[in-house]
Structure 1
Amino acid sequence: MQRTVILASTSRYRRELLTRLQLPFDVHAPDVDETPLPSEAPQALAQRLALEKARAVAAKFPEAVVIGSDQVADLGGEPLGKPGNHERAVAQLRRMRGQTLVFQTAVAVVCQATGFVERDLAPVRVVFRDLSDDAIERYLRAEQPYDCAGSAKSEGLGIALLDAIDSDDPTALIGLPLIRTSRMLRAAGVELL
């Protein structure tokens, strides 16, 4: 019997990515406080939130295999979240210009009924160009990436902001590392292909 797969996320980006696996799945919003703990490193924050999201939804659907994910932009150990508006996005991109960031993308898969719990981290190293204020403004007006950690969408015009991307799981930068997710789903008993 194939268990129901649930994506514990409100992110349209994660939903779009998961459809690539051509697997039927439901989506449920996790009720999780995403506030970082005092002195919590970006890597630890992403892993904790991915697992908390998966567990929160798994508690409501114990027979399902639940996927939780979270991404935190890491600028020298400081977490950068979603800007939420234009002014904060401008400030983020000004701080990031000419810098190397690590986008810490975590994924967790949980099935309460079987006791399956696994999580992993897919760090993505991103080198930003030394952007002018005008380039930042033009980019933000064109793409409005206010719901993206680090104010940039590499799958769109945001790719022009970058000098390099280094990752072993190419979809991790968009928000859901599908190679790791696929591996965990198979380990949880979900058939792919």
Structure 2
Amino acid sequence: MSLVLASTSRYRRELLQRLALPFDCARPDVDETALNGEAPLALAIRLAAAKAADVAARHPGAWVIGSDQVADLNGQPLGKPGTVDAACAQLAAMAGQTVRFHTAISLMRDGESLAAVDLTEVRFRTLGQQEIARYVTAEQPLDCAGSFKCEGLGISLFEAIDNRDPTALIGLPLIALCGLLRQAGFAVP
């Protein structure tokens, strides 16, 4: 069976490589803008499905993995910062707070669809502006929802991480994905 990751994210690609399944990557053409009043969980689910559907339309017969993660600070979605100033502002807003990260995955093929969602809660410690600036300068997490990389120096920003799947916070919940892939007929491991 053919497998395609609907993403060009190096983080998701590296995670999927852990499963030792052959796969291709394709860039989805999806507007990631939140709809007016859309809750963070609903946004993650909608975007994961839209990414999978877009790539599946171009790869008939292939199973396509779509994934999206949305950081949820008090019910408000936080996207990828894109700039140093935006990353610093996000981290300052999250300091001393618990932030929920909704990571949705959608596995699609020719009208068939399987889906799962993972929730990770991250408790940020109180952070000073200088700490934030040092961290952003060191890791440049401009392409990461929430402005950090938990697999790197970002771990120093937290008091705790509560989750079922540590890969979810990086962007692709492999435990849930393995279950979906087995349902679709893949031999994992």
* Range into which the TM-score falls when normalised by the shorter chain: over 0.9
> 2:156 matched to 1:160?
yes
Q: Specify which of 50, 53, 73 is matched with residue 52 of structure 1.
A: 50
Secondary structure of the 1:191 match is coil
Quote the Cα distance in structure 1 between the aligned partners of 2:4 and 2:107.
10
Counterpart Cα distance in 1 of 2:60 and 2:53? 9
Q: Give the CA deviation at 1:188.
A: 1.0
1:124 paired to 2:114: no
Q: Decide whether the 8 Å contact of 1:69 with 1:107 is kept in 2.
A: yes
Task: Give CA-to-partner distance per residue, 1:133-162, whole Å, 9 cap, x none.
Answer: 111011011000000001011000000000
Paired-residue identity, %: 59
Q: Which residue of 1 aligns with 2:131?
A: 135
- In structure 2, the partner of 1:79 is 77
Q: Which residue of structure 2 aligns with residue 38 of structure 1?
A: 36
Q: Which amino acid aligns with 1:20?
A: R
Q: Render the CA deviation track for 1:50-89: whole Å, top value 9, x for unaligned.
A: 0000011111112001000000100010000000010000
- Which residue is 2:141 aligned to? 145
Indicate the residue corresponding to 2:184 in structure 1. Answer: 188
- Specify every segment of 5 or more residues in structure 2 that has no aligned partner in the other structure, as ranges: none
Q: Which residue is equivalent to 1:110?
A: 108
Partner of 1:21: helix, strand, or coil? coil
Number of residue pairs matched? 189
Residue equivalent to 1:89: 87
Q: Distance in 1 between matches of 2:166 and 2:139?
A: 21
| 8 Å contact from structure 1 (residues 139, 157) kept in 2 | yes
The one-letter code matched in structure 1 to 2:19 is: L
- Kindly report the root-mean-square deviation, in angstroms, between the aligned alpha carbons of the 2 structures: 0.7
Kept in 2, the 8 Å contact 1:116–1:188? The answer is: no
Show structure 1 runs of 4+ deviating over 6 A.
none
Structure 2: how far apart are the matches of 1:187 and 1:116?
11
TM-score (norm 1): 0.96
Partner Cα separation in structure 1 for residue 182 and residue 43 of structure 2: 25
Q: Distance in 2 between matches of 1:38 and 1:6?
A: 31
SS of the aligned residue for 2:65 comes to strand
TM-score (norm 2): 0.98
Gaps of 5+ in 1: none
How many angstroms does 1:116 deviate by? 2.2
Q: 1:22-54 deviations in whole A, cap 9, x for unaligned?
A: 111000000011011110000000000000000
